């Protein structure tokens, strides 16, 4: 009975993890998948397996590639966690110790909700537990002793010393405590004899499962998940998805605003709708600290060299020090813009074609060489507005550069400069009209007839606590109050 | 017998090409890498290759009465049989059939010349992602030239992702070796001068950080440039980035005393002096020098020479220009160890030629002072760093000719007349390995033996301070 309950709890936990991780953390999963690479070449296997902890790393990377489809990836991880619990349970002589068998997989599940922990952790635990179980099953003592020594040496070099954390400064103590605790649980399970406590193990199992289900969701970093989700939508060019996600939701981070502004631009609505969302200076357009997203923005604007630079730096700065498929796809796209750089794109493409999910990847054609600057200048991260001005001056036909340049001027509240560039423009979306009205009012010019009533109403409300909310989506409100 | 074989072999190879007819193209195959007509040393790993676009190749290599037949997706030549063949032949003939789109094509045979001039058994290089500012993975590696075996000398996997470079051996001898490390385990690893290996801290308040090294033939000194380096990023498709110096001087380091000597003549703050190298006899110091300019694109380096007195570690005479050209800039002078030649890189401006597609190799005959572009080595893309084998019969140089980005080492043989034979790409175990290698091969240097360094010195010892004279 208790063993059956244990199996039900184990399956329930795996299913809970599958659904929760696959549905609630799919942005994070896509991020992890993008930062990893698994090649179907002997060279890659040799290189990976040759390193310390290579087997755990290699298997971990193998499973991670399936994060491409989050529900598939989380199902495999759920299965791995269930296998781990089952492996530990195999040591249990007594039903009373069965609830303990769930602990290592629960701890792994909770740690995996933090994207810094890698799949090498549950893989290493699983391999070690099942290897220990297999050794214990050997009947002949000297063979058992030999296998134990061999397995221990192999496990130490090729499994335990794995890359369980993506950052160089890893919580090594925590890792070894988890390993030791799992070993201890196995030992306890193996030595505690059968006791007559029929219901206690069952109740403990159910209670543990319930505690896990309550605790686990709280371990997800919602802000990071939001950013990861927006980043993924940018990566797959799902502009409608971004706007649908943003509709009615507060954007918790400037990075989310970056993605929304980009989506608006790609749908041709930046000038019209950008002030429907909270804006805060030019960092609402791009944040260079976040290299992935900013490289996408620069690329789509036509700053291809700089986009490539940031994508490359992001790859080089990957905490795991490995290349990711995300970076390779970007480097293909960014290098394939013109014939000059296409052989470099081919090099990255050759690598992608050795993966499972990108073997048919081809470069996109969202940017053409005509959008790029034709007169050289050094990119200055400190003055994005000026860089946009350079690009717009060189390529006035680049509408994305035009809209972003206008948006940057508006966000920096440089309305007179804005007027000098766009005062005579035939294209004049809502925010532009509002900005031009501000210049007109400062310079004593005339208000556009279609805005007259609106301006009078705004002026009547100005400074009063009530009523201004109606105008929070105007450039005037941004200009005066942000 | 040979004559009979020469008739029979083409028939055999055509028969070996499989079922169905073989279409004779009458042309050379499109080889990847291009090995047709190259000259190789006897102790070189097999030149494995593929035919572009081919699903399968069949190759027959003949020399005298011996032959090797291989087939597969690429020509994977057995190492032992290849060496046996090379040990007996001066000329190899290769016949190739390739299956492309289900049809077999036969090509004109081509040759590979085998030179009796020996080559140093190791190649030392840095492998680095061809990037910009961050260095996730890089390391110094050595490759056995007669096989595909590559070993790590030192990589940054156990230290913070800092830069490491400017590894240098004295005249291809691993007994004198230096390596700069940056980041939290920064310092200069030094072997030589009759002292135990140590890691020294070259930083001091009188000079900028030491960068480009070159050993004196005596092994007692290393000339360094000290550079304040900056990089900026271009925004037009044809350019990537610019690396330039705001200031640079030249100093000489006494390896026996761990002491830097500042050379006032080469520490002129109105000039940029860099890339110091000693002549084969050690009596001359060659370097590159430019006037400072407000615009980096106006900085053009001339090739200079000045006498060097190794007894007193001082300069003698006045620096003189030995080569300059209108609108051109010189970098990486490298004299051959036999004292006959001086090879250097010429680009349109600046000194960081690896990012200049127009950069080419030139060579000066030191006896006549005449220089010429090395058309037999240059390509439309970048050729940059280069170094000589210990017997000055081979040169290895960096080139970006494959795709314009990933630097690969090419090796070429020089004849008595100073003309180079067609260069060949460092042999890789498979063309796929080269294709999937997303790192550049940087600063290739021949080495007569394996280099090993004491990593514990890097990880766990205090950096030894130096004195400045």
Q: What are A92-129's pLDDT values in tens digits?
A: 988 888 889 999 999 999 999 999 999 999 999 999 99
Strands B22-24 and B103-106, sheet pairing = parallel
Beta bridge partners of B291: B271
pLDDT at res. B463: 85
- What residue ranges do the domains of chain B occupy? 2-115, 122-464
pLDDT at res. B460: 83
Q: What are B123-159's pLDDT values in tens digits?
A: 999 998 877 677 667 889 999 999 999 999 998 777 7
- Residue A394: pLDDT band (50, 70, 90) is very high
Query: Does A305 score more than 70 pLDDT?
Result: yes
Residue B63 φ/ψ, nearest 5 degrees? -155, 115
Omega prior to A25 cis, within 30 of 0: no
Beta bridge partners of B141: B125, B152
Query: B403 and A343 in contact by Cβ < 8 A?
Result: yes
- What residue ranges do the domains of chain A occupy? 2-219, 224-412, 421-482
* Interior/surface letters A173-206, b for 16+ CB within 10 angstroms, e for the rest: eebeebbeebbebbeebbebeeeeeeeebbebbe
Query: B235 and A323 in contact by Cβ < 8 A?
Result: no
Query: B238 and A348 in contact by Cβ < 8 A?
Result: no
Number of A to B CB contacts under 8 A, please give it.
Answer: 98
* Interior/surface letters B202-218, b for 16+ CB within 10 angstroms, e for the rest: bebeebbbbbbbbbbbe
Facing residue for B438 by CB, picked from A313, A323, A343: A323
Residue B318 CB burial class (10 angstroms; 0-12, 13-18, ≥19): exposed
State how far the alpha carbon of B214 is from the alpha carbons of A403, B188, B332, B344, B389, in Å: 53, 14, 11, 14, 15
Query: A41 and B435 in contact by Cβ < 8 A?
Result: no
A36, A319, A321, A398, best to mutate vs chain B, most B CBs in 10 Å? A321
pLDDT at res. A236: 94
ipTM: 0.79
With contacts defined as CB-CB under 8 Å, which chain A residues touch B236?
A: 305, 372-376
Q: What torsion, rounded to 10 degrees, do the Cα atoms A50, A55, A59, A61 define?
A: -40
pLDDT at res. A183: 94
Q: What are A436-470's pLDDT values in tens digits?
A: 888 887 777 676 777 677 777 777 676 666 666 67
User: For the domain with range B122-464, which CATH number is right: 3.40.50.920, 1.10.357.10, 2.120.10.30, 1.10.150.120?
Assistant: 2.120.10.30
Query: A313 and B133 in contact by Cβ < 8 A?
Result: yes
Q: Is the dihedral of CA A103, A108, A111, A112 positive or negative?
A: negative
- Residue A402: pLDDT band (50, 70, 90) is very high
Query: How many CB atoms neighbour CB B50 within 10 A?
Result: 23
Interface contact B236, partner A, CB < 8 A? yes
Beta bridge partners of A238: none
Beta bridge partners of B335: B342
* CATH number attached to the domain at B2-115: 2.60.40.10
DSSP state letters, B195-224: EEEEEEE---SSSPPEEEEEE-TTSSEEEE
Query: A369 and B160 in contact by Cβ < 8 A?
Result: no
DSSP state letters, B246-275: EEEEEEEEETTTTEEEE-GGG--TTEEEEE
pLDDT at res. A424: 86
- Residue A47: pLDDT band (50, 70, 90) is confident
pLDDT at res. A1: 52
Facing residue for B235 by CB, picked from A338, A340, A373: A373
Facing residue for B132 by CB, picked from A41, A313, A343: A313
Mean pLDDT by 10 residues, chain B (469 residues): 51 53 92 96 96 95 91 95 94 96 95 97 92 75 96 81 79 93 83 89 83 95 94 85 93 93 92 97 97 92 96 94 94 97 97 94 97 97 97 97 93 97 96 88 95 88 85
Euclidean distance between CA atoms B69 and B410, whole angstroms: 26
With contacts defined as CB-CB under 8 Å, which chain A residues touch B183?
A: none
CB A298 within 8 A of CB A287: no
Average pLDDT over every residue of A413-430: 91
- Residue A194: pLDDT band (50, 70, 90) is confident
List Cβ neighbours of B360 (8 Å cut-off, separation of 6 or more).
B345, B346, B347, B373, B374, B378, B383
Query: Does A197 score more than 70 pLDDT?
Result: no
pTM, two decimal places: 0.86
pLDDT at res. A465: 61
Distance from CA of B116 to the nearest CA of A (A): 34
Mean pLDDT of chain A: 89
A343, A352, A381, A390, best to mutate vs chain B, most B CBs in 10 Å? A343
* DSSP single-letter state for residue A157: I
Q: What are B405-426's pLDDT values in tens digits?
A: 899 999 999 999 999 999 999 9
CB B344 within 8 A of CB B330: yes
Query: A350 and B402 in contact by Cβ < 8 A?
Result: no
Interface contact B184, partner A, CB < 8 A? no
pLDDT at res. B4: 54
């Amino acid at each position: 009975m208790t063993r059956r309950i244990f199996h039900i709890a184990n399956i329930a936990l795996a299913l809970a993890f599958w659904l929760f991780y696959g549905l609630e953390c799919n942005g994070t999963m896509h991020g992890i998948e993008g930062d990893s690479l698994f090649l179907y070449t002997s060279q890659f296997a040799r290189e990976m397996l040759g390193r310390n902890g290579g087997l755990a790393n290699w298997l971990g990377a193998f499973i991670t590639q399936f994060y491409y489809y989050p529900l598939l990836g989380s199902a495999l991880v759920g299965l791995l966690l269930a296998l781990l619990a089952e492996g530990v349970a195999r040591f249990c002589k007594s039903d009373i110790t069965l609830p303990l068998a769930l602990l290592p997989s629960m701890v792994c599940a909770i740690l995996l909700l933090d994207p810094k922990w890698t799949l090498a952790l549950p893989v290493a635990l699983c391999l070690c537990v099942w290897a220990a179980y297999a050794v214990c099953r050997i009947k002949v003592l000297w063979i058992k002793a030999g296998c134990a020594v061999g397995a221990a040496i192999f496990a130490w070099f090729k499994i335990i010393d794995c890359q369980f954390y993506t950052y160089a400064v890893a919580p090594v103590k925590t890792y070894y405590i988890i390993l030791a605790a799992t070993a201890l649980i196995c030992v306890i399970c193996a030595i505690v004899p059968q006791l007559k406590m029929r219901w206690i193990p069952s109740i403990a199992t159910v209670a543990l499962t319930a505690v896990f289900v309550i605790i686990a969701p709280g371990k997800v970093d919602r802000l990071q998940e939001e950013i990861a989700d927006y980043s993924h939508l940018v990566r797959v060019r799902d502009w409608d998805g971004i706007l649908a996600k943003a509709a009615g939701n507060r954007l918790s981070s400037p990075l989310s605003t970056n993605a929304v502004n980009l989506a608006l631009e790609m749908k041709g609505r930046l000038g019209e709708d950008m002030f429907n969302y909270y804006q805060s200076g030019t960092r609402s357009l791009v944040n260079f600290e976040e290299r992935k997203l900013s490289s996408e923005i620069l690329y789509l604007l036509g700053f291809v060299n700089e986009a490539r630079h940031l994508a490359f730096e992001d790859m080089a700065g990957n905490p795991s020090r490995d290349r990711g498929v995300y970076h390779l796809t970007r480097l293909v796209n960014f290098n394939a813009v013109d014939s000059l750089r296409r052989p470099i794109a081919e090099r990255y493409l050759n690598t992608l074609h050795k993966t499972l999910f990108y073997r048919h990847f081809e470069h996109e054609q969202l940017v053409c060489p005509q959008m790029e600057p034709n007169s050289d200048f050094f990119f200055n991260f400190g003055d994005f507005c000026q860089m946009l001005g350079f690009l717009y001056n060189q390529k006035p036909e680049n509408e994305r550069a035009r809209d972003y340049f206008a948006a940057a001027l508006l966000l920096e509240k440089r309305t007179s400069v804005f007027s000098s560039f766009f005062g005579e423009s035939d294209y004049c979306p809502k925010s532009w009209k509002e900005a031009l009205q501000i210049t007109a009012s400062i310079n004593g010019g005339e208000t556009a007839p279609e805005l007259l009533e609106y301006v009078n109403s705004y002026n009547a409300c100005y400074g009063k606590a009530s009523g201004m909310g109606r105008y929070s989506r105007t450039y005037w409100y941004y200009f005066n109050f942000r | 017998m040979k004559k009979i074989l020469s008739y029979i072999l083409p028939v055999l190879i055509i028969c070996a090409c499989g079922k169905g007819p073989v279409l004779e193209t009458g042309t050379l195959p499109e080889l990847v890498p291009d090995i047709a007509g190259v000259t190789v040393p006897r102790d070189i790993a097999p030149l494995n290759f593929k035919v572009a676009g081919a699903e399968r190749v069949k190759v027959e290599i003949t020399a005298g009465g011996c032959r090797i037949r291989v087939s597969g997706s690429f020509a994977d030549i057995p190492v032992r049989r290849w060496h046996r063949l090379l040990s007996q032949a001066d000329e190899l003939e290769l016949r190739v059939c390739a299956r492309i789109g289900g049809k077999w094509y036969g090509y004109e045979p081509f040759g590979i010349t085998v030179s009796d001039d020996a080559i140093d058994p190791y190649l030392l290089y840095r492998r680095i992602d061809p990037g910009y500012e961050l260095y996730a993975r890089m390391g110094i590696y050595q490759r056995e030239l007669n096989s595909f075996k590559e070993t790590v000398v030192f990589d940054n996997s156990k230290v913070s992702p800092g830069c490491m470079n400017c590894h240098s051996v004295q005249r291809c001898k691993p007994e004198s070796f230096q390596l700069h490390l940056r980041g939290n385990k920064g310092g200069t690893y030094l072997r030589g001068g009759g002292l135990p290996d140590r890691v020294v801290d070259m930083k001091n308040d009188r000079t900028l950080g030491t960068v480009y090294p070159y050993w004196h033939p005596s092994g007692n000194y290393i000339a360094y440039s000290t550079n304040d380096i900056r990089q900026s990023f271009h925004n037009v498709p044809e350019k990537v980035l610019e690396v330039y110096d705001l200031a640079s001087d030249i100093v000489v380091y006494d390896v026996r005393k761990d002491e830097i000597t500042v050379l006032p003549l080469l520490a002129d703050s109105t000039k940029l002096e860099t890339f110091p190298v000693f002549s084969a006899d050690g009596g001359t110091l060659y370097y590159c020098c430019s006037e400072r300019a407000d615009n980096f694109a106006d900085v053009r380096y001339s090739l200079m020479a000045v006498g060097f007195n190794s007894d007193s570690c001082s300069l003698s005479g006045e620096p003189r220009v030995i080569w300059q050209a209108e609108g051109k800039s010189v970098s990486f002078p490298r004299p051959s160890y036999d004292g006959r030649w001086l090879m250097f890189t010429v680009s349109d401006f600046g000194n960081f030629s690896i990012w200049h597609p127009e950069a080419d190799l030139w060579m000066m005959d030191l006896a006549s002072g005449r220089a010429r572009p090395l058309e037999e080595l240059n390509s439309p893309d970048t050729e940059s760093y280069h170094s000589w084998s210990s017997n000055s019969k081979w040169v290895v140089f960096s080139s970006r000719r494959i795709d314009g980005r990933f630097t690969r080492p090419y090796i070429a043989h020089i004849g008595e007349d100073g003309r180079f034979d067609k260069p060949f790409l460092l042999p890789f175990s498979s063309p796929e390995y080269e294709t999937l290698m997303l790192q550049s091969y940087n600063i290739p240097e021949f080495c007569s033996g394996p280099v090993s360094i004491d990593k514990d010195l890097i990880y766990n010892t205090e950096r030894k301070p130096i004195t400045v004279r």
